[in-house]
Amino acid sequence: MEDQTFTGNRSIALVTGANQGVGNEIAKALANNGYIVYVGSRKLENGEKAAAEIGENAKAIQLDVTQQQTIKAAIERINLAHGHLDLLVNNAGISHSGPSPISPEEMMATGRAVNVSLDEVRTVWETNVFGVISMTQAALPLLRKSSAARIVNVSSGLGSLTWISDPECWARENFGIVYAASKTALNAVTVAFALELEKEGIKVNATSPGYTATALNNFQGTDSLEVGSREPVRVALETDGPTGSFTGPEGSLPW
């Protein structure tokens, strides 16, 4: 679908990793609320299928947050079509380096500090941490042209050092250096951007879907996609909320 260069007062959003899972649910909600939403997908055909299912407010865009040229091309396309960006949702994330989903048990077997492969760490962090930094920096010139610019980083409760450090925390055994610690780093990135951009009026927040059944955990999560997406959707749609917050399905989360 071709971009229209005139959008009136329409809000423009870009959601990374939006061809499936939580990102797709966020994209649907934004489109249903009148946004023109760019559905970021590493494989364009997957994004095109997802955008077609969402409807006319959705546009597929090829975007791999580990490849700077695709980030640059995506931002240039949005700039040419609209000249601004109101919302960036950094949703793209991976739990391991392999091509197929694996169970949380398999993930932890190779993700513990005592035996983790540095190549595995680098691969996951390239998407979950460095990709967010690259994407956010590239989008800032367009976000600065919005009157209500927001950045939402989809994190995880596993990234909360306060929660994981509690001896009563049920998820302590699931904290590893690959995925969970990447979300801790993402939370730090969120705070850093929030502090830097607060003076410009750009809001930056982190949100956790909770333990949602997605490809990240081989669909073993306890919450449905609909339930797990509620908080990320709420934060993404909120134009007058706080900045520098970390929330989940039960409310505020500790860093």
DSSP string, 205-219: EEE---SB-SGGGTT
Radius of gyration of the chain (CA): 17
Fold of 12-252: Rossmann fold (3.40.50)
Gap between the terminal Cα atoms of the chain:
41
pTM: 0.92
Beta carbons of 60 and 30 less than 8 angstroms apart: no
Q: Let me know if 115 is exposed, middle or buried by CB neighbors in 10 A (0-12, 13-18, 19+).
A: exposed
Phi, psi of 27 (to 5 degrees): -60, -45
* C-alpha torsion sign, points 226, 202, 250, 157: positive
Instruction: Identify the three-state secondary structure at position 86.
Output: coil
d(CA 150, CA 194): 10
Domain-by-domain residue ranges, the chain? Answer: 12-252
DSSP E strand stretches across 28-86: 36-41, 58-62
Nearest to 193 by CA among 142, 132, 254: 132
177 secondary structure, DSSP code = T
- Answer yes or no: are the C-beta atoms of 35 and 8 closer than 8 Å: no
pLDDT, average across residues 232-253:
95
The three-state secondary structure class of 251 is strand
pLDDT in tens, 32-86: 999 999 999 999 999 999 999 999 999 999 999 999 999 999 999 999 999 999 9
Asked if 243 and 194 count as a contact pair (C-beta separation under 8 A), the reply is yes
Q: For residue 230, how far is the Cα from the chain centroid?
A: 14
Which residues does residue 96 pair with via DSSP β-bridges, in sequence order?
Answer: none
Percent of the chain with pLDDT over 90: 77
- 19-46 pLDDT, tens digit per residue, is 999 999 999 999 999 999 999 999 999 9
Structure tokens at 8: 């009136």
Residue 102's pLDDT is 72
